[in-house]
Every structure is written in C-alpha cells, then in structure tokens.
C-alpha cells in the first residue's frame, strides 16, 4: 500500500529547520540565516519570521495569551500578550510580532504588567456572569489571568445583569454573548479551521460583537454542530447543550432502564478532566464509575463500530460490483463514510449533489440505539418506552444527530441523549466518585465485546483502517498482517490533512458465508487496485470535494473517510479543554495502544456481532432488516438518493 497524494497537511505555518549563520545587524536578508533574540536577558537564535511569543517559548518564558491559539492563524486582537521591545515607544503584541532583525525584549516589566492589568480590567467591565454558575469555572482563561494579575476590584466597573441572554435554540451549542471577550477565536475556528463561517465580527469600536448571519439564532444558521468553536473559546461564551439533569432524572426513576454506550475517544481523554496528562486511558475505571452513577447497563460503542464496518464495507462491495460487473452507471463512487454527523451536515449544506456518495449506514451511535430498543428490548422483555439510551460521545454534533427526525427506526427515539466527555466528567464529580482510584470492570454483555478495529474509530483514519482490515481478509482469505506488520495500516494514519493510499488485490479467496447472498465470487476484484483517502476537519473535506468536482486524483478513489473534527473524534467538540496538536497526538497514542492490546482486532471476527446476524439480522449485512434499522436515506427535494 502506498500513500500517493497529500493534498494538504493542515499546518499553520512551516518552521524552518535550516541552520546557517546568525544574522548581524548589517545582514538581515541572508537566506536561511538565524536571528538573535534576547528576551528577559536570555538569548536564542531563531529563523527569520519567528514571533516573539514563539521565541519566548523556546526559552521557557511564558507570555499570557487569549486570542492566540496553536491551531489558529494569528490575530493579535486581545493585546494581553504585549511586551516591551527595546527601541520602540509602544508595546507590541508578541503573538503577531515577527522577528526580522536582532531584538531585545522585556516580557514582564512594570509597563507591561500595568498594561495587561488594564486590558483585563477592560475585558471584565463588559463580561457578565458569576464564575460559580459558569460551565467553565476553574477552566476559564480569563478567570485564570484575573487571578494571576491580582484583579481584586473592577477598575472600570462591571456588568451586573445580562444584556442579551443565552441562545439555546441549537441541539448542540449554547451561545452566551455576555461572556464574550471578542477574542475572535470562534470566528477563526469556524472560518479558517473548518471553512463553515457561522460567526463574524460585526459593527466597530465599542459596538463590536460576534454575530451570526443576519443575527439568526444558532438553530437557523448553517452550523454543522461540530463544537470546535467551544473547544477554543477561552471563556463560557460557548458551551454544549448539557442533558445531565434529564439523565439524572431517568436514573432516579425506578421505572426506567437506563443504558449508556461509550465511544472510544472519551475513554482516551476523560482522565484529563481529573488532572491526568493526555494519553492516559481510563476505559475500565470509567465502566465502574458509570455503574456507581446508577446506569443499569454499560455497553461499548465499539460493538456497533464493528457492525458499521460490516454494513458499510458490504455496501462498498455492492457498489463496486454494480459499477464494475453490472456496468450500472448510476452508482455513486467514491463512497463516503457516514460516521461523523458534523461531516454529514457539512455535505448536506455545501455539497448536496454528492449525497448519493454518502454511505447509507448510520453512525455507530445510532445503530446502537436502534438495536437497544428492538433486539435488546425483546431479549430482556423490556418495553422500549421504558428504556433510556444515553450515548457518551466526544462530539457535540451527536446531540444534533440523535434528535434528527429520521433517527427513530425502532419506533421510538433511538438514542435519547448525547453526553460529551466533559459532561460525564462533571456527573462523575457530582456523584462524589474518585475516578482515578476506581477498580476496573468490563463492559456488560451482550454488547460489550470489543475489537481493536472498533477502538481506532476514535482517530482520523481509524474507520478506513478498520474497513481495510476486514475487507482485505474477507476478499483475499489472507491475514492483513501479511501486508502490514501487526495490522498497522500506517498510510492512513497520522494528522496530515488529506491522505490517499492504494492497495492492490493480487489474489482472491472464497466468498464468506455471511456475504454469499450478495456476490457469487471475488474474481472480478482480482488484480484490482483499491484507492482510498482520509480527510479530517471540514476545511480539508472542502479540498477533497473541490478536487473531486474538478476531476482530480481523489475522484478516482473508491472509498473516502471524512471526519468533521481535526484529528477525528479524539479532537471532537465535546472533549476536554484545552486541545492542540500535541494533546490530540497523545490521545491517538492511547487509542492505538488499546487496539494493539485487544485480543481481536478485526470487525468481522467480533463474535457478538456475528451472533446478532445469526439471531436477529437474519438476512445478513445490507439485508432488508438491517437496512431498515441500521441504514438511512438522504433526501433532496423529496427524492430518495440512496
């Protein structure tokens, strides 16, 4: 397998690694030269264009920031990072000041400290709300800076009542303009990082505010509910819709049977909410904590991740068979994944003509809900009306997804509540549970059997890697480890914005029993080269879609994985704050470690999934029953597209 095409690496400014001579005051144009920066009496040689903030980090000197974020382009609007540059009358914003000649800087002089304090006082003068009632209490950058700079009174006054109130119209995101400090992180996240554009700065001067198109509520704007704006907001101006109170009510109701399914990404990161460094998973401690909270059953979303691979993989095989063997020119290729509800909403808004390319398979969350209120209810003689299904997800878009009107194929709302990693952490704290010292326990049967393929759904490229592991072995009859050491399909891993890879099927085996009703043999695939691609973050999704529209290399792919969030689910809008590239990398490492520790690492080998096909979905993958419960149909102007 080769990685043939890298459209975008999503980097935010390449850093030079060349080391040449140190620039002197008379030579500031030498190619590849380094420039001497002296910051608080410490010196460092940096490439031309390095900002003062970056140079200070190299020396271990901390400069406070608010508008700056490692994932975003430079803005320089909040001015909290101002420093004193020798020879300049005014203070300079260190995050936006490029070093182009030798420079001497003071980062904490009296002048700098006073300026930062005044800036904070001005922000606080328009910032409404008591910290006690704020969702970001003890995790607010403005609050932390106020403490750091000794704010003990409101120098320029303080707002004592809300001016605008909260916008709670969205299923996913709550806006509170009264807590906004105009840092524009949300604007840059939505415009630059995600290429959606929900927010913009409107008006000027003291009247500036962050608004939406025509000041519409969040429910009426083109928002994909990804929640990336929440993850980068420094205050409580943006938060997720929290269903915790409703879930507690259900748990406390003896007539309700409350089930929680847990996605792979939250278990890799929930420890961060309890003081652990990123990359320390608490999968089995979390299971015990959930039972202590009162959930009747704790199931693993990895179960339906494996189910998704079988359904989505079967759909891909059927599309290829119809296109290549039956010569049906109406078949839409490449097939797009449908696991990410933010991505699905993105394509609905921006590229609806390509909806036929989206797999009809529901996400693992929704497949689980449909099975719980049908198969599980029947197995346990439960009335589906008395079952409450909760989905622990890394994603705010899952809140929107479970409320979509078409997600009720069980005859009920398939998933009642979407709960983020942050919200579950708060519930655990509220219950007085010491998560870090909980004994370990496994998931409940019959939906607790997991594979490594289900776990890696949490990282970008994970769905593709899982699909390749299963499809390759089902088609060739050979183990994937013969091609990739330890089943690590490295060409689809990593944080490059877009990756493309190829895998040639040099031999074929017999058709497995589970698929014999769909295709007679695999001879039509012998010698074929499967072309796949992976994209994460909708800015990169846009690049892929435009390449396909232009007939570029990606239009030749057969299967493309899209994830709305940078890094995939492990960078989701419901994950612990803060997030950046190194934190996402640590979470990914935890996910891959859990994969390799799994006894079974291929979806089609999950015995519990195979048992569901034998006992319930008896007409097999993509059969009539599975299509009714596990698939959906996309509509444009009243016409079925799938």
**CA separation for the pair 263, 240 (Å, rounded):** 18
- Claim to verify: residue 614 and residue 500 sit in the same structural domain: yes
Rounded Cα distance between 595 and 580, Å, is: 23
Element (H, E) at 240: strand 238-240
pLDDT of residue 24: 46
Q: Quick one: which of 169, 177, 184 has its CA closest to 218?
A: 169
Residues 196 and 288 both lie in one domain: no
Whether 230 and 282 map to the same domain: the answer is no
Residue 125 lies in a domain: no
Same domain, yes or no: 299 and 431:
yes
Q: What does the pLDDT look like over 333-373, one tens digit per residue?
A: 999 999 999 999 999 999 999 999 999 999 999 999 999 99
126 domain residue, yes or no:
no
Q: Going by C-beta distance under 8 Å and a sequence separation of 6 or more, which residues neighbour residue 341?
A: 225, 363, 395, 397, 398, 400, 401, 564
CATH number of the domain that 413 lies in? 3.40.50.1780
Residue 187 belongs to domain with CATH number = 3.30.70.20
Q: Strands, E, within 290-362: which ranges?
A: 297-300, 335-336
Give the chain's mean pLDDT. 93
Question: Distance between CA atoms of 336 and 365, rounded to whole angstroms?
Answer: 18
Would residue 5 count as lying in a domain? no
Q: Into how many domains does the chain fold?
A: 4
For 588-623, give the secondary structure using H, E and C. HHHHHHHHHHCCCCCHHHCHHHHHHHHHCCCCCCCC
pTM, 2 dp:
0.93
CA-based torsion, 24, 28, 34, 39: positive or negative? positive
Report the pLDDT value the prediction gives residue 5, as an integer from 0 to 100: 42
Domain membership of residue 101 as a residue range: 34-108
Beta bridge partners of 417: 390
Considering the domain architecture, whether residues 222 and 271 belong to the same structural domain is answered as no
Question: Residues in the chain with pLDDT < 70?
Answer: 1-32, 634-642
Residue 65 in domain: yes
Which residues, in sequence order, are CB contacts of 80 under 8 Å at separation 6+? 64, 65, 66, 67, 116, 119, 120, 145
The answer to whether the beta carbons of residues 580 and 70 sit under 8 Å apart is yes
467 and 576 in a single domain? The answer is: yes
Nearest to 617 by CA among 633, 629, 631, 601: 629
Q: State the catalytic residues.
A: 312, 315, 339, 359, 398, 401, 406, 569
Q: Kindly give, in sequence order, each residue whose CB lies less than 8 Å from that of residue 89, ignoring residues fewer than 6 positions away.
A: none
Residues 394 and 135: their CA atoms lie apart, in Å, by 17
Asked if residue 58 lies in contact with residue 75, where contact means CB atoms within 8 angstroms, the answer is no
Please list the residues that pair with 299 across neighbouring strands: 261
CATH number reported for the structural domain that contains residue 94 in this entry: 3.10.20.740
- What pLDDT does 161 receive? 86
Q: Which of 437, 472, 497 is the last residue of a domain?
A: 437
Give the chain's radius of gyration (CA, Å). 26
Q: What is the pLDDT of residue 31?
A: 54
As a three-state string, the secondary structure of 37-87 is EEECCEEEEEECCCEHHHHHHHCCCCCCCCCCCCCCCCCCCCCCCEEEECC
* Sheet bearing 92-93, strands edge to edge: 42-47, 34-39, 103-106, 82-85, 92-93
Q: Is 166 domain-assigned?
A: yes
């Amino acid at each position: 397998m080769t990685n043939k095409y890298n459209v975008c690496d999503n980097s935010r400014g390449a850093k030079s690694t060349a080391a040449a001579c140190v620039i002197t005051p008379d030579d500031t144009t030498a190619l590849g030269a380094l420039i001497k920066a002296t910051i608080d009496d410490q010196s460092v040689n940096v490439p031309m264009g390095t900002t003062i903030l970056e140079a200070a980090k190299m020396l271990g000197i901390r400069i406070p920031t608010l508008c700056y974020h490692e994932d975003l382009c430079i803005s320089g609007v909040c001015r909290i990072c101002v420093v004193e540059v020798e020879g300049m009358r005014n203070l300079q914003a260190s995050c936006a000041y490029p070093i182009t000649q030798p420079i001497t800087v003071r980062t904490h002089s009296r002048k700098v400290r006073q300026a930062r304090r005044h800036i904070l006082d001005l922000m606080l003068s328009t910032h409404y709300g008591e910290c006690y009632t704020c969702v970001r209490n003890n995790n607010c950058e403005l609050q932390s800076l106020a403490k750091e700079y000794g704010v003990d009174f409101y120098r320029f006054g303080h707002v004592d009542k809300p001016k605008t109130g909260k916008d709670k119209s969205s299923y996913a995101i709550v806006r509170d303009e009264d807590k906004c400090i105009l840092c524009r992180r949300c604007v840059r996240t939505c415009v630059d990082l995600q290429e959606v554009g929900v927010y913009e700065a409107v008006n000027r001067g003291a009247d500036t505010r962050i608004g939406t198109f025509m000041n519409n509520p969040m429910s009426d704007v083109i928002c994909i509910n990804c929640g990336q704006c929440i993850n980068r907001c420094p205050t409580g101006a943006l938060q997720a819709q929290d269903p915790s109170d409703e879930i507690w009510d259900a748990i406390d109701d003896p007539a309700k049977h409350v089930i929680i399914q847990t996605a792979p990404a939250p278990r890799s990161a929930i420890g961060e909410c309890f003081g652990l460094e990123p990359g320390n998973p608490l999968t089995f401690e979390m299971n015990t904590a959930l039972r202590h909270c009162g959930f009747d059953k704790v199931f693993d979303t990895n179960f339906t991740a494996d189910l998704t691979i079988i359904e989505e993989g079967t759909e891909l095989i059927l599309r290829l068979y119809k296109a290549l063997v039956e010569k049906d020119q109406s078949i839409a290729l490449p097939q797009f994944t449908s696991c990410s509800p933010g991505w699905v909403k993105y394509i609905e808004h921006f590229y609806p003509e390509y909806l036929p390319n989206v797999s009809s398979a529901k996400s693992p969350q929704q497949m689980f809900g449909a099975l719980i209120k049908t198969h599980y209810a029947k197995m346990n003689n439960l009335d589906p009306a008395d079952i409450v299904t909760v989905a622990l997800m890394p994603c705010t878009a899952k809140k929107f997804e479970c409320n979509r009107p078409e997600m009720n194929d069980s005859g009920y709302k398939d998933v009642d509540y979407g709960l983020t990693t942050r919200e579950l952490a708060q519930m655990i704290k509220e219950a007085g549970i010491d998560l870090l010292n909980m004994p370990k326990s496994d998931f409940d049967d019959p939906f607790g059997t997991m594979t490594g393929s289900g776990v890696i759904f949490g990282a970008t490229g994970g769905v593709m890697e899982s699909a390749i592991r299963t499809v390759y072995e089902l088609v060739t009859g050979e183990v994937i480890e013969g091609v990739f050491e330890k089943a690590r399909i490295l060409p689809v891993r990593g944080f490059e914005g877009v990756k493309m890879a190829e895998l040639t099927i040099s031999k074929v085996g017999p058709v497995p029993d589970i698929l014999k009703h769909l295709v007679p043999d695999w001879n039509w695939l012998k010698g074929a080269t499967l072309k796949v691609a992976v994209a994460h973050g909708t800015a990169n999704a846009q690049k892929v879609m435009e390449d396909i529209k232009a007939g570029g290399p990606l239009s030749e792919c057969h299967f493309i994985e899209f994830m709305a969030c940078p890094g995939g689910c492990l960078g989701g809008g419901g994950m612990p704050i803060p997030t950046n590239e190194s934190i996402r990398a640590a979470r990914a490492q935890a996910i891959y470690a859990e994969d390799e520790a799994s006894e079974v690492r291929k979806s089609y080998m999950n015995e519990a999934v195979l048992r569901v096909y034998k006992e319930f979905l008896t007409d097999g993958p993509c059969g009539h029953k599975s299509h009714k419960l596990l698939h959906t149909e996309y509509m444009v102007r009243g016409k079925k597209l799938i």
